[in-house]
């Protein structure tokens, strides 16, 4: 969470969109910036439970694939309305699934589920396959740029590395994107370490609502 926020803060300086794939060293859960901690914590036994910098609901990170996409201000994606941004992202994700042989679609309408069961129901424009939610995401847009954090509930028999490659290939096919490997510089790493220490690891942040 800290590195995603640091990348958002430095998006203008970095100058180009950043796609980040990351994993979890232990089971955990994240919840949306505007949610109430007391209500959310009762819905899952997973710990740590960390407040995201983006909106959305409770997401368990016990078997999912996670990624983030950071866009600098001035990029055309930064100027999209929230629904249009969500659609563009999940059309991209859908096309990546098609490349690994999974036929998916965007949800035409919302389907509610019990609180805390993020992947039992879905929001409009989430990614579905065979009546099951495969992908959801949350966004945060400000003057620094746009941060999207996404979670994938992977289909059986699909390798994570294959899907990640297909996501990159889909962007190249659709928009001519040429990807380059990137390591956060010392400024971004330092800011992420600071945010982790003073914000995301602190009850004052995670439990303040």
Calpha distance 103→111 (Å, rounded): 20
Output the CA–CA distances (angstroms, integers) from residue 34 to 30, 49, 54, 83, 119, in the order listed.
Answer: 12, 14, 8, 18, 19
Q: Which residue has the tokens 């996670």?
A: 66
| pLDDT (0 to 100) of residue 119 | 61
- What is the DSSP pairing of strand 127-129 with strand 132-142? antiparallel
Structure tokens at 53: 């910098």
| pLDDT (0 to 100) of residue 176 | 98
| pLDDT (0 to 100) of residue 115 | 62
- Strand spans (E) along the chain: 18-22, 28-31, 49-51, 59-61, 65-71, 105-106, 127-129, 132-142, 145-152
Contacts of 167 (CB under 8 A, 6+ apart): 19, 67, 92, 93, 96
Q: Which CATH superfamily is domain 2-175 in?
A: Bira Bifunctional Protein; Domain 2 (3.30.930.10)
Output the CA–CA distances (angstroms, integers) from residue 43 to 38, 47, 115, 188, 208, in the order listed.
Answer: 9, 12, 7, 33, 17
| pLDDT (0 to 100) of residue 116 | 55
Exposed/middle/buried for residue 130 (C-beta within 10 Å: 0-12, 13-18, 19+): exposed
| pLDDT (0 to 100) of residue 63 | 93
Q: Write out the catalytic residue numbers.
A: 118
Other beta carbons within 10 Å of 65: 19
Q: Which pairs with CB-CB distance under 8 Å and at least 24 residues apart come from 45-49?
A: 49/206
Per-residue pLDDT of the chain (209 residues; tens, 9 = 90+): 999 999 999 999 999 999 999 999 999 999 999 999 999 999 999 999 999 999 999 999 999 999 999 999 999 999 999 999 999 999 999 999 999 999 999 999 998 876 655 566 899 999 999 999 999 999 999 999 999 999 999 998 999 999 999 999 999 999 999 999 999 999 999 999 999 999 999 999 999 88
| pLDDT (0 to 100) of residue 112 | 80
Three-state DSSP at 22 gives: strand
Helix 160-175 / helix 82-99 crossing angle, nearest 10 deg:
120
């Amino acid at each position: 969470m800290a590195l995603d926020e640091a990348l958002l803060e430095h998006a203008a300086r970095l100058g180009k969109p950043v796609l980040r794939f990351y994993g979890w060293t232990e089971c955990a859960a994240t919840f949306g910036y505007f949610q109430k901690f007391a209500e959310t914590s009762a819905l899952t036994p997973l710990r740590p439970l960390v407040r995201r910098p983006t909106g959305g609901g409770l997401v368990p990170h016990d078997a999912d694939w996670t990624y983030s996409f950071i866009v600098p201000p001035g990029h055309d994606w930064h100027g999209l309305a929230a629904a249009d941004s969500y659609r563009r992202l999940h059309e991209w994700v859908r096309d990546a699934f098609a490349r690994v042989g999974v036929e998916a679609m965007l949800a035409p309408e919302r389907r509610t589920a019990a609180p805390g069961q993020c992947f039992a129901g879905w929001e409009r424009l989430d990614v579905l396959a065979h009546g099951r939610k495969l992908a959801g995401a949350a966004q945060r847009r400000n003057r620094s740029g746009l941060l999207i954090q996404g979670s994938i509930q992977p289909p059986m028999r699909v390798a994570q590395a294959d899907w990640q490659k297909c996501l990159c290939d889909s962007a190249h096919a659709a928009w001519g994107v040429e990807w380059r490997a990137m390591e956060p510089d010392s400024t971004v790493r330092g800011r992420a370490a600071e945010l982790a220490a003073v914000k995301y690891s602190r009850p004052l942040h995670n439990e303040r609502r």
